[in-house]
Chains A and B, each alone.
Chain A
C-alpha cells in the first residue's frame, strides 16, 4: 500500500491536490467556528450554490477565467446575507435557503439550455460534487489558492481577538466602540473566498461539511474558544489529508471521502464527550 502511495506522490497533481486540500480545509475550519456559533451554519451551502449558478453563467458566456465572475458575485452575496442578519424582512435562514435553491435551479437551467458541452450531466456532477477537479489543478490555480489561503490565515490571526469579541456579543462590542459591522463585512468576504476555493475540493453541495463538522467536533471536546479553534483547524487538516489519501488509494471520489472522514471524526468526538463527560479546558 505504501509503495502505491509513494508512486502516486511522485505525480505533481497528487501533491497539488494535497497542498490545496489541506489549505482549504484549514481556512474553512477556522471560520467555521465563528459561523456555527453565530448560527450561520448554512451560509456555506447558500453561497456555494450561488457560486454554482455564477459558474454556470460564466461557462455559458465562455469566460476563460470564471473566477472573475464567480468570486465577486459570491462576495457580494455573502456581504448581503450576513448584513441582513437582524432587521431583515426575510430572516437569515430563510434568505439563505431561498438564495441557495434558487441559484441551484437557475444554474442548472442555464447550463441545460445553453450548454455547448456533450457531457452535461458529467459537468454538473463534477461542479456539485467536485469529483475530480482537484486532481486536475494547474500550477497557476495552485498558486492562487496558496496565496488566498495564506491571506485568510494571516487575517484571521491578526483579527482573532476582534472576531471572538463580536462572535460572543456583537451588541457589547458595538456599544463599547468596536466597529462590529466592519468586521462582519470582513468575515463575509473571507467566507466567500474560502467557499469559492473549496468548490474545487468538495464541490458545491458538500462545502458546508468542511465548514461545520470540524467546528462541531471540536466543540464536543474543548471548552475555550482558543482551544476549539485550534482543535478544529488540526482536525480539519487531518481529515482532509487522510480523506485525499484514502480516495487516491481506494479510487473513491475526493470530496465525499473527505466529508465521510469528517463525519467519522465527529462521531468519535461525540463518543469521547459521552465517555469523559466533557470537561477538558
Chain B
C-alpha cells in the first residue's frame, strides 16, 4: 500500500470548490512537487492533506504504517513568527510535542533528537540565538529541523524557498534533496518550476488542467509543455 492515496478529492472553502476530482498516490521515498499558478489551490491541498481543513468530498488514505502524528510540516512563515521572542532550541524542541502526548515536559530522548536535527541542518551553533534575529535561510533551517523532530518518514513543505535569495534557495533545495535520499518522502509546493523539475521524482500539476505523473512523463505531456512555455514567457 502507498504512503498516501488521494481519491476523487475536491477542495475548497464553504461550498466554493477550487479543485475537483483529484487523484494521486505517494509512495515511500518519492519526491513529489506540486506546481500550478497562484490561487490554483496548492496550499489548500496541503492543508487538507494535513487535516487542517476538511475536504469537500473524496478520500485521503494513509497507509504503510504511517501515523497521523508522524507527518512533518514546513509552513509558510506567518506574521506572528517574524517577531517572535524564542530561541532556536525552543522552537526545534517544540517539534517533539506530538511525541509527548499528555506528558508536560520533554524527556532526554527528545532533547537528544532536537540536538541531532539541529546538527543535521547545520544550525547547532545557533541553538541559543533568537529566532527573529536570524536570516531567512537560517529561519527556514530552524523550521525544517523542527519538522524533522516530528517525523522520520514524510515531510510536507509549503514554498520552502520563498523570499530567499538564489544562493540560499539552492542550498535549501540540496538540503531537502539530501533528506529525500536519506529515505524521507517529500511533498513540496513550489512555484519555481525549474527547481521542481531538477529534484522531483513526481509532479502534480493543479489548475485548470490536472496532471499527475513522473517528472519525465510530465515533461512530455501537453500540460507540462504549455506550463513551461508560459513560465519562460513570464520570466523573459
Which residues of A does B touch, CB under 8 Å?
37-39, 157-162, 164-165, 168-169, 171-178, 219, 222-226, 228, 279, 281
Contact = CB atoms under 8 A, between A and B. Distances in A.
A223 B91 CA distance: 12
Interface string B83-111: 01111001101110110100011100000
A12 to B, nearest CB: 37
Nearest to B130: A223
Interface stretch (B68-76, B177-185, B212-220): B68-76
Interface residues of B, number: 38
A279 B98 contact: no
A279 B133 contact: yes
B236 interface: no
26 contacts: A38-B80, A39-B80, A160-B104, A161-B93, A161-B97, A161-B106, A162-B97, A164-B94, A165-B94, A168-B84, A168-B94, A169-B75, A169-B81, A169-B94, A172-B73, A174-B52, A176-B69, A176-B97, A176-B151, A223-B130, A224-B87, A224-B128, A224-B130, A225-B85, A226-B90, A281-B128
B51 interface: yes
B52 A161 contact: no
Contact of A161 (B75, B81, B100): B100
B157 to A, nearest CB: 12
Contact of B85 (A165, A173, A228): A228
Interface in B160-203: none
B51 A219 contact: no
B98 A177 contact: yes
A100 B118 CA distance: 45
Dominant SS among interface residues on chain A: helix
Interface of B: 47, 50-52, 68-69, 71-73, 75, 78, 80-81, 84-87, 90-91, 93-95, 97-98, 100, 104-106, 128-130, 132-133, 146-147, 150-151, 156
Contacts of B84: 37, 168, 225
A136 to B, nearest CB: 38
Contact of A159 (B50, B80, B85, B104): B104
B49 to A, nearest CB: 9
Contacts of B73: 171-172, 175-176
Given A161-B97, A169-B78, A175 B50 contact: yes
A224 B89 CA distance: 9
8 smallest CB-CB distances across A and B, nearest first, come from A177-B69, A223-B130, A224-B87, A175-B50, A177-B98, A165-B94, A176-B98, A176-B150
Contacts of B129: 223
Contacts of A158: 104
A172 B85 contact: no
Given A161-B94, A161-B97, 11 more contacts: A168-B80, A168-B91, A171-B75, A172-B95, A175-B50, A175-B52, A175-B156, A176-B151, A223-B129, A224-B90, A281-B130
B97 A173 contact: yes
Contacts of A172: 73, 75, 95, 146-147, 150
B88 to A, nearest CB: 9
A279 B97 CA distance: 28
B136 to A, nearest CB: 17
A228 B83 CA distance: 13
B128 A161 contact: no
Contacts of B156: 175
Nearest to B103: A161
A20 B133 CA distance: 38
Contact of B90 (A38, A175, A219, A225): A225
B149 to A, nearest CB: 9
A178 B98 contact: yes
Contacts of B86: 164, 168, 224-225
Contacts of A175: 50-52, 71, 73, 156
B68 A223 contact: no
A168 B143 CA distance: 11
B15 to A, nearest CB: 14
Given A224-B87, A279-B130, A281-B87, A168 B81 contact: yes
Nearest to A218: B85
Contacts of A169: 75, 78, 81, 94
Nearest to B51: A175
